[in-house]
């Protein structure tokens, strides 16, 4: 993954500010919308939409369920909090370099946000975290990071940024608290929210059963192909981070491992066998669950922003 974009932060910030009214020029909170989760813009007030193609340094998302638009507006009760939301993100599997993937996070930081709420669609590796659950991420496991695919590799974008970034506190306990308090206020069922560890994989293939078992055994609860690069850049920029993963599918359920050997042996012995079929995940399924559950996630985000 190369550093293929010129560092044009000022040009990007200028292009954005030029089209914003004064009350939206310094957003307080950034939001990244995961697959099928861009509906939050519908509850913004005074909305200004800027296509990524109008912002120097921004790429274009190629994934269904990801628009390529930066949305500014006021969110929450009263006067509202000025926010900026990425309606669509970039993933390395699309061919974007890691520096392109995290570029919008750096621009949101330059615009002045202090907190960032990152959402994603993810597969569950944990049998006690069913589809539809919103997982408040408390930690991550990023095999690509450990093996050299880290967006912070290479020259830093500013000499003021820390070279060796600690990640023991990457997921803000204070913001995570606000999420659970917001859920209480919204009277969400206790089972609506869980806490867990996000495994970042490069994709675009979904996991094999063996990979799913491996990620579960090494401590991950959910898995996805995004988010971690953004978290790293956000932390490097000094932002407070909270990540909400909407579980759209199960990656692996132990009972779905069918043994063809046993099946054939049983058949040869004249026994009737009805073994469960393996599940096949699809992006259409991911988007469908996203559509079904996006409302709750959006209410949660709005309520957290309101309580900041």
Ligand X SMILES: O=P(O)(O)O[C@H]1O[C@H](CO)[C@@H](O)[C@H]1O
Considering CB distances under 5 to 8 angstroms, the limit depending on partner class, which of ligand HPA, ligand X, none binds residue 249?
Answer: ligand HPA
Eight-class DSSP state of 275: P
Kindly tell me which of 89 and 176 has the beta carbon lying closer to ligand X.
89
Q: Which of 223, 232, 239, 305 binds ligand HPA (CB under 6 A)?
A: 223
Distances (CA, A) of 17 to 23, 64, 84: 11, 28, 12
Considering CB distances under 5 to 8 angstroms, the limit depending on partner class, which of ligand X, ligand HPA, none binds residue 100?
Answer: none
Question: Which of 289, 292, 300, 306 is closest to 188 using CA atoms?
Answer: 300
**Phi–psi pair at 206, nearest 5 degrees:** -75, 165
Kindly tell me which of 12 and 120 has the beta carbon lying closer to ligand HPA.
120
Tell me the torsion sign for CA atoms 300, 140, 92, 1: positive
66 is in an annotated binding site: yes
Q: Which residue is nearest to ligand HPA (CB)?
A: 123
Question: Which of 15, 5, 147 is closest to 90 using CA atoms?
Answer: 5
HSE-CB for 247 with a 13 A CA cutoff: 29
- Which of the residues 100 through 129 are near ligand X (CB under 6 A)? 120-121
Which amino acids are annotated catalytic? 35, 66, 91, 93-94, 121, 225-226, 249, 283
Quick check: 17 and 25 in contact, CB under 8 A? yes
Q: Which of 16, 102, 225, 233 binds ligand HPA (CB under 6 A)?
A: 225
What residues form the annotated binding site?
35, 66, 89-91, 121, 207, 226, 249
- Kindly list the residues in this chain that would bind ligand X in the complex (CB under 6 A): 34-35, 63, 89, 91, 120-121, 203, 224-227, 283, 286
């Amino acid at each position: 993954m190369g550093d293929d974009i010129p560092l044009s932060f000022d040009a990007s910030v200028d292009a954005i500010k030029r089209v914003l009214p004064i009350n939206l020029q310094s957003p307080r909170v950034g939001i990244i919308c995961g697959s099928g989760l861009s509906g939050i813009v519908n509850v913004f007030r005074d909305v200004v939409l800027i296509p990524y193609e109008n912002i120097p340094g921004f790429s274009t998302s190629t994934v269904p369920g990801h628009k390529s638009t930066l949305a500014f507006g006021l969110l929450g009760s009263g006067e509202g909090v000025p926010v900026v939301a990425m309606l669509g993100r970039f993933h390395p599997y699309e061919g974007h370099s890691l520096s392109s993937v995290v570029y919008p996070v750096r621009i949101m930081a330059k615009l002045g946000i202090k907190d960032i709420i990152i959402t994603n669609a993810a597969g569950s590796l944990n049998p006690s975290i069913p589809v539809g659950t919103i997982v408040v991420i408390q930690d991550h496991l990023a095999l690509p990071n450990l093996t050299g695919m880290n967006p912070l590799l290479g020259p830093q974008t500013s000499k003021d940024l820390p070279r060796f970034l600690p990640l023991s506190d990457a997921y803000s306990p204070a913001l995570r608290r606000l999420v659970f308090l917001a859920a209480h206020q919204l009277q969400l069922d206790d089972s609506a929210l869980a806490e867990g560890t996000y495994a970042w994989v490069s994709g675009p293939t979904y996991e094999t059963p063996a990979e799913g078992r491996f990620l579960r055994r090494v401590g991950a609860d959910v898995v996805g192909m995004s988010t971690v690069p953004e978290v790293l850049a956000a932390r490097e920029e000094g932002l407070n981070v909270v990540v909400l993963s909407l579980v759209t599918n199960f990656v692996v359920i132990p009972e779905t491992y069918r043994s063809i050997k046993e099946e054939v042996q049983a058949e040869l012995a004249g026994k009737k066998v009805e073994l469960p079929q393996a599940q096949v995940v699809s992006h259409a399924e991911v988007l469908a669950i996203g559509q079904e559950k996006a409302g709750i996630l959006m209410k949660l985000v709005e309520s957290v922003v309101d309580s900041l």
